[in-house]
Chain A
Amino acid sequence: MIDFARVQKELVECSKDAEGSGIRVIPKSDNLVHLIGTIPGPIGTPYEGGVFQIDITLPEGYPFEPPKMQFSTKVWHPNISSQSGAICLDILKDQWSPALTLKTALLSVQALLSAPQPDDPQDAVVAQQYLKDYQTFVNTARYWTESFAKTSSRGIEVKVQKLVEMGFPEAQVRSILEAVGGDENLALERLL
């Protein structure tokens, strides 16, 4: 049986500090079993500026069993599946402790974004790239952040559209935008 009283308290606690940490947890429905967490991409990483959504499902035994967390925002990271958003993080598995909370767990996920562990990968392709071609990894991660983790006004689609309207072929625009990490001006320079 989920301890809803505790979940309720956690939500209150989390919202108090939402401005400071940037971490938010809101119920997806009204039963508190499904929640949505959001974390800002850590500063100084390819995820900077992005806002990442995480689907949270509480198991029956919460808080004695770990919450199930999965990125619903696509993210390019060695320990997060680029397909499903599954997260490889010890505290969400055997290192979970009932003394941890949704907020501390999300903080750990945020820390994972800043410190990838390519030796214990969830996504082998990403991990390979991280180890062998770090610059490409950074570019791809930044491009994905631009494409999926930013609000649409600043989103990549707008930039693509703009450049296509300037007369460049769409496929080329997309690949160059990806290569330069979504920077519109850099992309234009390259295209010219």
Chain B
Amino acid sequence: MDDYASSDDDYNYSDDQDSVGDVFANDDLDFPLVSSKGSTTQVITKESLLAAQREDLRRVMDMLSVREQHARTLLIYHRWDVDRLFGVYVEKGKAFLFAEAGVSVDECRDSSSLAYDSVMCEICMDDVPIEEATRMDCGHCFCNSCWTEHFFVKINEGQSKRIRCMAHKCNSICDEAVVRTLLSRKYPDMAEKYERFLLESYIEDNKRVKWCPSTPHCGNAIRVEEDDLCEVECSCGEQFCFNCLEEAHSPCSCLMWELWVKKCRDESETVNWITVHTKPCPKCHKPVEKNGGCNLVSCICGQAFCWLCGGATGREHTWSSIAGHSCGRYKEQEKTAERAKRDLYRYMHYHNRYKAHTDSFKLESKLKEAIQGKISISEEKNSTTVTDYSWVNNGLSRLFRSRRVLSYSYAFAFYMFGDELFKEEMSEDQREIKQNLFEDQQQQLEGNVERLSKVLEEPFETFKDKKVMEIRMQILNLSTLIDNLCKTMYECIENDLLGSLNHGIHSIAPYKSRGIEKASELQVSWSNKANNTGVTAEVERPEESGCSSRKRARKEGLGGGFFDLNLPAEFLDRN
């Protein structure tokens, strides 16, 4: 079953309704009609929620020749996993698939009671005129007011996605069109709620789709195509790990990150403040607070020292000579030190470095503004040799990206080489070898990140062209180098460290050179706004669903309004 072909039909059909020229003249359509397939993650907004589920619904409808409501019931039952649903279909057959999910397709039409004018409703035990009673697909017939109360109670109980028939032991799911129609007569608010629950089932019950964790909530959800182990940026700007919904934390695994966050929170505030915000100057011993981006700090007494290890240093220490910069290496305390104390020192060592890079990252974010200023000054010089300054921004992005990797790599190392998670995994010797390997790579990365940070802070707007070109080359080279170092470090983590674990699986989101993927907007290729809240199941208005209503739907948005879930599919079926 080729789902792309079927969705193409959609678009062709809608194009037929419009004049072709109209489509292209429409300034709303400055994006391709087909949702972009290049990206592996997509933002689903309130507006595109309907379109997002259409493809899955259509696949099921086409495959099994069922109506949309039945396709939805099946999909909700199988948590929107189309492949699993088809698997059950192939293995156990259609009858089983339907019965299991509670879909009855016109099997037990019993026309005997239709001969009478009235039926006895077994719920309220009253005789009601036949037109005030409704027979569900499963064949059970009750009066409309009882059905309505049943729906009301079930939706209040939070069971709106699977409202079962009222008959005892009947597993059949109520026809959503009937629910909609009957509810909207007496409880329009509830009908609206029901509608929303059905729509949002696509997010709530789907492992490929999750709500963006932003607070206040942006209203968006993110859909990933293949691997749910990835980091993603929502269109609202929130970056998060799709797997655990916490902030993006690669190369830490989700479990490591959870433990790390908890540990950082639990350590006493005072210790944190002292160890994190200040470093004593190695010469005058005054606590020094860092206020600039790079990790080479100068005290007011004139002494330069490394912010990472607090050691006095020449200006060579932090960025120029990688070989000399060995403070990222963890030195084991003396054997006599008490274990608890050692653990604390160990934690502080990693936490200080983690925090240092996180803080640098925050300070460097300020750098972004400064750099924009420098770029505009440079551009005004109208230099003939240097016209394009995109390399500055690229370098800056590289810096931000690698800073994050670097800071999380310390939390990673804390757990990777500690006893908490992997004590049983490797012998002391193995651990030492692995730790050395990793720390070598980490240090190389660290040294180059600092160098890049420093180069980026150069006042290049005041330099001559030749010097600017030199800086440009430096930034380009460093960026490439850092990118490669990140890749190598990830390879080491994935293959040599996490890959060789015997117990437990720690997977991390893969390294992406271009940074955390921005989820692309899922384009609304077909949204339809029903005219009012009194939507009935039988609505079919092919003429109205052309371009004009589509434009209107998009312009008005769909907030507070009603999706008519049935409409497009129903009339597509007839074509």
Contact = CB atoms under 8 A, between A and B. Distances in A.
A6 B149 CA distance: 14
A3 B123 CA distance: 10
A3 B124 contact: yes
Query: Which of A3, A95, A104 has the largest number of chain B CB atoms within 10 A?
Result: A3
Interface in B96-146: 122-126, 146
A99 B153 contact: no
Interface string A37-80: 00000000000000000000000010111000000000000000
A98 B123 contact: yes
Interface residues of B, number: 16
B153 A97 contact: no
Contacts of B124: 3, 5-6
B554 interface: no
A9 B166 contact: no
Contacts of B150: 64, 98
Contact of B146 (A9, A10, A95, A98): A98
A99 B122 contact: yes
Contacts of B122: 99
B168 A99 contact: yes
Contacts of B168: 91, 97, 99-100, 104
B146 A97 contact: no
B169 interface: yes
Interface of B is mostly: loop
B29 interface: no
B147 to A, nearest CB: 10
Given A97-B169, A98-B166, A64 B149 contact: yes
B457 to A, nearest CB: 64
A110 B213 CA distance: 50
Given A61-B153, A64-B150, A97 B125 contact: no
B307 to A, nearest CB: 60
Contact of A64 (B126, B153, B169, B170): B153
A9 B124 CA distance: 9
Contacts of B154: 64
Given A3-B124, A6-B125, A63-B123, A99 B167 contact: yes
Nearest to A59: B153
Interface of A: 3, 5-6, 9-10, 61, 63-65, 91, 95, 97-100, 104
Given A64-B146, A91-B168, 5 more contacts: A5-B125, A10-B125, A98-B123, A99-B166, A99-B168
CB-CB nearest 5 A-B residue pairs:
A64-B153, A97-B168, A98-B166, A9-B125, A98-B123
